């Protein structure tokens, strides 16, 4: 379905939902790394940052 320029739909239209998704990805990425046996919290948080960035890039790519 074509959208008019500048018209966002779905999750892209709700910045609060996007932020929640990015923070959720950060938390989930960190938790998975911890459960997988990350050496320390800093290493686990690095995986959380990677998950956050992946979701952010997905939102940016969708426009």
For the segment 4-56, what is each residue's pLDDT rounded down to a tens digit? 665 666 666 689 999 999 999 999 999 999 999 999 999 999 999 999 999 99
Domain holding 43, by residue range, is 39-63
Neighbours of 7 (CB within 10 A): 9
Does 4 reside within a domain? Answer: no
CB-based contact 29:50 (threshold 8 Å)? yes
Phi, psi for 7 (deg, rounded to 5): -105, 115
pLDDT band at 1 (very low <50, low <70, confident <90, very high): low
Does 49 reside within a domain? Answer: yes
Does 6 reside within a domain? Answer: no
Does 48 reside within a domain? Answer: yes
Q: Rounded to an integer, what distance in angstroms lies between the CA atom of residue 50 and that of residue 27? A: 11
Task: Report which of residues 62 and 38 the model is more confident about.
Answer: 38
Contacting residues for 11 by C-beta, under 8 A, at least 6 apart: 17, 18, 21, 59
Task: Give the pLDDT confidence score for residue 12 in this predicted structure.
Answer: 62
Q: Count up the domains in the chain and report the number.
A: 1
Does residue 2 have a pLDDT over 80? no
How much is the pTM? 0.78
């Amino acid at each position: 379905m074509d959208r008019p320029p500048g018209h966002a739909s779905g999750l892209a239209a709700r910045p609060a939902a996007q932020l929640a998704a990015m923070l959720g990805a950060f938390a989930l990425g960190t938790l998975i790394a911890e459960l997988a046996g990350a050496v320390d919290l800093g290493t686990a948080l690095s995986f959380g940052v990677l998950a956050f960035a992946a979701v952010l890039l997905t939102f940016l790519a969708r426009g």
